[in-house]
Amino acid sequence: MTVLDMFRLDGQVALVTGVGRGLGQAMAVALAEAGADIAGLYNTRYQDTQTQIETLGRQFLPIQADLQQAGPDELNKVVEQVVDQFDRLDILVNNAGIILRSPAMEYPADDWNAVLNVNLNAAFYLSQAAARVMQGQGKGKIIQIASLLSFQGGIFVPAYAAAKSGLAGLTKALANEWAPLGINVNAIAPGYIATDNTAALQADATRNAAILGRIPVGRWGQPEDLKGLTLYLASSASDYMHGSIINIDGGWLGR
Ligand code: NAP
C-alpha cells in the first residue's frame, strides 16, 4: 500500500456530530472526499452539508438529536440508526460544541449543564456506543474535537474549559482501554477558527487585533485547515496514534 492509499476511506462510514456548519461540515466533506459515506448528527441544520456530500457521490444520512438533552439511550439509538443504514461504523467525530460566557462566580447552573452535556457527556456516550460496534469490526477511529482550552483556562468560560479539558482526559482514558481492540482515540485541538462560534470575537475590533497579534501565522484559521489532520486521524495512516491531543492553531500554543 502506498502512503496515499493509506489515506483512502472507500467503503467506510463516518458519524460526524455538528455536521451542518463550521468545522463539522468541513471535516465531513474531507472524509467524503476521501471516500467515506457520512451519517450527520445535527440539531437545527444539515441541508447544505448533505448537498456537498451527495455532490461528491457519497451517501448522507441526517440524524436529528439535541445533545443538550440526549442521554446514553438516545445516543445508542443514533449509532444503531447508522448501523441499520450502512451495516457498519468506522469513524466517529465528536465535533458538536457550544461556548457560553459568564464570570465564574455568577456562572448559571443551566449554562454549566448545557455546556457539559453537549461538549463532554454526549461525546462520551457516543464514543461508548460507537466503540461497541467498532470492537466487533476489530477496527475504528474516534476523533474528539478539543480546544486550546484543553490546555488553557480562558476567561469567563469555566464550563467550556472544564468540558474541553475533560475531553482531553477522556481521550487518553479511552485510548488506554481501546487501543488493544484496534480502536484509535485521538483529539484535535483547534486554535482560533473563523466560524459562527467565533463570530463575536472576529467582530470585536479590539479582541480581534489581540488574537491576531498572538497568532504567529497572523491569520484566523479556516475550517478547511482541519481537513488534512482529520483525514490522517480517520485513516489507517494513523494506526499507531493513540491518546494524542494535537493542536492545530497557527502557532498559538508555542508562544
Ligand atoms: P459552530 O459553527 O457554532 O457549530 C456548532 C455545531 O454544534 C453546529 O453544527 C451545531 O448544530 C452543533 N450543536 C450545538 N448545540 C447542539 C445541540 N444541542 N445538539 C446537537 N448539536 C449541537 O462551531 P464550530 O466553530 O464549528 O465548532 C465546532 C467544534 O469545534 C466545537 O466543539 C467547538 O468547541 C470546537 N472548537 C472551535 C473553535 C473555533 O475557533 N471555531 C476552536 C476550538 C474548538 P446545528 O448547526 O444543527 O445547530
- The cell for 56 is 461528491
- Cell numbers found for residue 218: 497572523
Closest CA to 171 of 241, 239, 238: 241
Helix (H) or strand (E) holding 86: helix 72-86
pLDDT of residue 12: 98
Domains and CATH numbers, the chain: 5-193+226-249 (3.40.50.720)
Instruction: For the chain, give the percent of residues with pLDDT over 90.
Output: 99
Q: Residue 13 has what pLDDT?
A: 99
18: CA distance to ligand 1 center in Å?
6
pLDDT of residue 103: 98
23 lines ligand 1 (CB under 6 A): yes
Q: Using the atom order of ligand 1, give the atom closest to the CA of residue 149.
A: 43
- Give dist(CA 144, CA 122) in Å, integer: 11
Task: Give distance in angstroms: CA of 20 to centre of ligand 1.
Answer: 9
C-alpha distance from residue 116 to each of 92, 125, 209, 255 (Å): 19, 12, 30, 29
pLDDT at 241: 98
Output the CA 77–ligand 1 centroid distance in Å.
Answer: 22
Q: How far apart are CA 95 and CA 15, in angstroms?
A: 10
Pocket test for ligand 1, best of 195, 196, 245 (most atoms within 8 A of CB): 195
Query: From ligand 1's centre to the CA of 5, what distance in Å?
Result: 31
Q: What is the pLDDT of residue 191?
A: 98
Q: Is the CB of 49 under 6 A from ligand 1?
A: no
Give buried/exposed letters for 41-79 (b at 16+ CB in 10 A, else e): bbbeebeebbebbeeeebebbbbebebbebeeeebbebb
Q: CB of 18 closer than 6 A to ligand 1?
A: yes
Which pLDDT value is given to residue 108?
98
Which whole-number Å values give the CA distances from 209 to 84, 147, 171, 248, in the listed order? Answer: 49, 20, 33, 20
Beta-ladder partners of 143? 93, 186
Catalytic residues: 160
Place of cell 461556548: 99
pLDDT of residue 159: 98
Closest C-alpha residue for ligand 1 atom 34:
97
Residues in the chain where the model's pLDDT stays below 50 = none
Q: Give the separation between CA 23 and CA 147, rounded to whole angstroms.
A: 12
Q: Identify the pLDDT of residue 189.
A: 98
- Indicate if ligand 1 lies below 6 Å from the C-beta of 195: yes
Distance 111 CA to ligand 1 centre (A): 15
Burial tier of 218 (Cβ tally within 10 Å: 0-12, 13-18, 19+) = exposed
pLDDT tens for residues 208-229?
A: 999 999 999 999 999 999 999 9
Q: How far apart are CA 109 and CA 158, in angstroms?
A: 12
Residue 43 near ligand 1, beta carbon < 6 Å: yes
pLDDT tens-digit readout, 160-184? 999 999 999 999 999 999 999 999 9
